[in-house]
A and B are shown apart, each in its own frame.
Chain A
Amino acid sequence: MLVDSRTPNPKSFISGANGDWELVIGLEVHAQITSKSKLFSASSTSFGGEPNDHVSLVDAAMPGMLPVINKYCVEQAVRTGLGLKAKINKRSVFDRKNYFYPDLPQGYQISQFKDPIVGEGTVHLDMPEDGAVEVGIERLHMEQDAGKSIHDLVPGKSVVDLNRSGVALMEIVSKPDIRSADEAKAYVTKLRSILRYLGTCDGNMEEGSLRADVNVSVRKPGGEFGTRCEIKNVNSIRFIGQAIEYEARRQIDILEDGGQIDQETRLFDPKSGVTRSMRSKEEAHDYRYFPDPDLLPLEFDQDFVDEIAASLPELPDEKKARLIEQYGLSAYDADLLVDDPDTAAYFEAVAQGRDPKHAVNWVMGDLAAHAKSVGKPVHQAGASAEQLGSLIDLISDNTISGKIAKDVLDIVIAEGGNPAKIVDTKGLKQVTDTGAIEAVVDEVIAENPGKVEEVKEKPKMVGWFVGQVMQKSGGKANPQTVNAILAKKLGL
């Protein structure tokens, strides 16, 4: 039963030829469970490796082989359920989803159909303009991943790599509570962040650890739900946004031309930015789900759940609230910091005993910019929290200026080392000796009599003098002192 949980928001409407349209989106996110071995076998789950290196007799579906549930994967699923503030089902059932495909050795996928391990929950979003949005979680269930068919390796033949076959996935199904591409992207970003905090999925979309099936429909604002199309296997947050936008427009165009939407499965092509039909409802598989007779129902007690709950880390929402409270950060800064737990931890290490505003400016400013340019997370950008912290200390005690600090950071990143020592050995210490600065100021004034006249008419010209003095001092003069002396000497 679909329930509409949202009040139509005109800001999210898409305008059509004859009025506005509203998007309705629900996502099924497939998240690979972080575990050493597969859901029902002892094979390694590590990425890469030679094809068919990580394949046990069970994964290859040899005759007479039987699945045995990996307890750690069950814990991970429960941990995720708790992180999503969801109902944990102490009894769940594994079912077989039957279909033929060469990379599905058993001829069925072991999944959970009627009785998933996790029931309803919530993901909280903070949208920049619209504020809080609650996205309902319908369910989370565990299932096996399939192998991989490769069609372009051996001419004229298809080959199969079963390394992924049997790897544990969580399918996290949202309610149709999402109303724009931006919300969908924010939802996946938030979900990924929660999974990373929990350590239950690495969220690496490039390696396929996280991918989404996106259900999209359009309707007149607040009207009946429209017919949906499912866009399969979208593997980046950016593509999710693009796919939704394309698909919405496609559906609106059809409806405005008097057509109707066919319920179908579609694929998004990132190169052309369009979605294409994969199979219609009529071609849909009949998966003939039934309880897997090789596996007893999965049952555990409340103690099992409580133990996992007790080990749960601080999650993004709580951390954000705490950062705002503890460090007086803006909601915007806090949001940026909590997205990645390691970045947040890095920030807290830098902020320890220092001005948090300085810490956040440096972490999310220069360091984040550098991190982005080298495609690494902030905490791995090349400066340890200790290094950045001592750099900030050097600014705070006026040993160096903020400008010099940027240069020192570049050196730290490029060559490593202790910022204080770098400042020492490279002679970058700020000059605060008024006598020395006065001498440079006098020099500049003496060399530029014309400019001295000009500045008396146009006091803003003082900036030019500051620049000259700083240049002559190699950037080491204390800017406040320079300003004060210049003002006095130029009679401003």
Chain B
Amino acid sequence: MSDLTELNLAEARDGLKTKAFSAREITDAYLSAIDASNPALNAYISVTHDQARAMADASDEKLAKGEGGTLEGIPLGIKDLFATKGVHTQACSHILDGFQPPYESTVTSNLWRDGAVMLGKLNMDEFAMGSSNETSYYGNVVNPWRRSGGDNAALVPGGSSGGSATATSAHLCVAATGTDTGGSIRQPAAFTGLVGIKPTYGRCSRWGIVAFASSLDQAGPLSRTVRDSAIMLGSMASHDPKDTTSVDLPVPDYEAAVGRDVRGLKVGIPKEYRLDGMPGEIETLWQQGVEWLKQAGAEIVEVSLPYTKYALPSYYIVAPAEASSNLARYDGVRYGLRVPDDDVITMYEKTRSEGFGPEVKRRVMIGTYVLSAGYYDAYYLKAQKIRTLIKRDFEKAFADVDVLLTPTSPNAAFAPGEITDPVTMYLNDIFTVTVNMAGLPGISVPAGLDGRGLPLGLQLIGKAFDEETLFRTAGVLEESAGFTARPEKWW
């Protein structure tokens, strides 16, 4: 039998249905791959061998009876931000040492309901704060991709869903869950040659996902094909009464949208996304995307999103503000790390000083500052106003077009330590944060390689709750790009 880890999700699903192989077999194949490869890649921070096999066996029983859900027997990796009952859930932070929740997040519950198998918990930037997976308490995740031309330097997989990206790209899971607050699904997907979608805010329940910035956080999948993401999101999405920001709309058949053509579709090209100093390769790839869609029968329209330039600074006010409050609960009193002291204030200080890494501390401090008396109006309130204007920009654009096409990130994967200035690092999110600020869906599709052989992604931005148009358009891009490149296995 060929290597089962080579199959994408749709193929694996079909193979399981026809009993070409068992859930146990494909699960074992992935567990072996993880055991062999993880030391080099550091994608998993906890591998749940026993649980995975037990879940696979349960799936096989169902499959034998011709039963089973849409993901029956599909081995997945789960970002450490999702609460998984009795299993490591620490947002890759020292401060949650030993935390194993007595509850399961709604998104992962949905996946298990549909028959998926959990392989383990995936590395990520601490509390999802980072664009390179260099802030994890569990160490850097390594990108399976390397620059061509003999430079063997390790590269970052992007962040914060770096473990999800590397694991899916290196075939250490069929697909993975991620979360995206400012680009944390789409940018790592672009850096590792994957598809990743951040759905509309409210499409997936946030219940049981460790909060970073509540008004921006959304769960979504990373996968090797557009179809796989469509299948995954169909399971992850739901209305959840436990999350009042989740939306009570039926979940469409996303997979059915994949393969539909884009004739007559109006695709907007936002002129403000043409940045000064952007690498020519990114610009060229973007143009290529325009051509592909034009050839497929779409109509290309230039649109304007004038408040784009304010999106990144506003995001870096709103997100840290919410984070500073969301992370206040990690105080050493009830769970996780406690660095004891006789005095409670000192206990807080010691626990939080030791428990949080530098990037988390930086954002907590920024957030605390922008919410402080005397600064609130100048920073937080103004950022919220800009957020409203950004939303309005998109509303106006979507009056004329059906979907927007942009690059996913302004650069390909870089080496760890290459970017040390936080603001330069934050610029990685420049094309993705606007989407979170407006609460819209965005998908990254691998579209080509840069001059050094590294994958680059194109982003499609849709109307609220119109993920179907994203999958449909992404499917066309995927087919036109014919992206088949694979990282050469060095690990």
User: Using a CB–CB distance below 8 Å, which chain A residues touch chain B?
Assistant: 57, 60-69, 96, 98, 100, 102, 105-108, 158, 160, 286, 288-290, 293-296
Contact = CB atoms under 8 A, between A and B. Distances in A.
B373 interface: yes
B325 A102 contact: no
Contacts of B353: none
Interface in B67-108: 82-83, 89, 91, 96, 99, 101-103, 105
B245 interface: yes
A63 B91 contact: yes
B244 A107 contact: no
Contact of B333 (A62, A64, A102, A286): A102
Contacts of A69: 244
B372 A106 contact: no
Given A64-B82, A286-B373, 15 more contacts: A57-B102, A62-B335, A63-B96, A64-B83, A64-B210, A67-B244, A102-B333, A107-B331, A108-B325, A108-B328, A158-B344, A160-B333, A290-B376, A294-B211, A294-B214
Contacts of A62: 101, 103, 335
Contact of A66 (B244, B322, B324, B344): B244
9 contacts: A63-B91, A64-B105, A65-B208, A68-B241, A69-B244, A102-B344, A288-B324, A290-B376, A296-B244
Q: Which of A60, A64, A107 has the most CB of B within 10 A?
A: A64
B336 to A, nearest CB: 9
A110 to B, nearest CB: 11
A69 B241 CA distance: 11
A127 B154 CA distance: 81
Given A288-B368, A290-B380, A64 B208 contact: yes
A102 B347 CA distance: 11
A290 B348 CA distance: 23
Contacts of B327: 107
B337 to A, nearest CB: 13
A94 to B, nearest CB: 10
B244 A105 contact: no
Contacts of B65: none
Interface in B128-165: none
Contact of B244 (A68, A158, A160): A68
A293 B334 contact: no
B99 A102 contact: no
A62 B209 CA distance: 10
A64 B214 CA distance: 10
B325 A96 contact: yes
Contact of B371 (A64, A65, A98, A105): A98
A159 to B, nearest CB: 10
Given A68-B241, A293-B214, A294-B214, A63 B328 contact: no
Contact of B215 (A64, A105, A160, A293): A293
Contacts of B272: none
B328 A98 contact: yes
B325 A68 contact: no
Given A107-B331, A290-B325, A63 B101 contact: yes
Given A61-B334, A68-B241, A288-B371, A293 B328 contact: no
B19 interface: no
A293 B99 CA distance: 25
Contacts of A160: 333
A73 B158 CA distance: 45
B83 A63 contact: yes
A286 B321 CA distance: 14
B253 to A, nearest CB: 28
A96 B376 CA distance: 14
A28 B284 CA distance: 64
Given A66-B244, A286-B373, A294-B244, A61 B214 contact: no
Nearest to A69: B244
Nearest to A149: B344
A279 B358 CA distance: 33
A63 B99 CA distance: 10
B329 interface: yes
The dominant DSSP class at the B interface is loop
A107 B331 CA distance: 8
A105 B333 CA distance: 8
B325 A64 contact: no
A143 to B, nearest CB: 16
B322 to A, nearest CB: 5
B414 interface: no
A105 B329 CA distance: 6
B211 A64 contact: yes
A288 B322 CA distance: 11
Contacts of A100: 328, 331, 345, 348
Contacts of A64: 82-83, 101, 105, 206-211
B390 to A, nearest CB: 16
A338 B211 CA distance: 50
A295 B211 contact: no
Contacts of B83: 63-64
Contacts of B82: 64
B242 A66 contact: yes
Contacts of A288: 324-325, 368, 371-373, 376
A107 B105 contact: no
B43 interface: no
Contacts of B445: none
B243 interface: yes
Interface in B291-335: 321-322, 324-325, 327-329, 331, 333-335
Given A100-B328, A160-B333, A286-B372, A63 B244 contact: no
A41 to B, nearest CB: 10
Nearest to B329: A61
B258 interface: no
Contact of A106 (B105, B242, B329, B373): B329
Nearest to B209: A64
Contacts of B437: none
Given A293-B213, A293-B215, A295-B244, A60 B334 contact: yes
A282 B101 CA distance: 40
Nearest to A285: B373
A15 B73 CA distance: 85
Nearest to A61: B329
A149 to B, nearest CB: 9
A89 to B, nearest CB: 19
A286 B334 CA distance: 24
A206 B29 CA distance: 65
Nearest to B208: A64
B299 to A, nearest CB: 36
Contacts of A96: 325
B331 A102 contact: yes
A293 B322 contact: yes
Interface in B217-249: 241-245
A289 B368 CA distance: 11
Nearest to B372: A286
A69 B245 CA distance: 12
B334 A105 contact: yes
A101 B325 CA distance: 13
Max chain A CB contacts within 10 Å: which of B96, B241, B334, B335?
A: B334
Contacts of B376: 288, 290
**Cβ-closest 6 pairs across A and B:** A107-B328, A288-B371, A293-B215, A293-B214, A61-B329, A64-B208
Given A100-B348, A108-B325, A288-B325, A66 B243 contact: yes
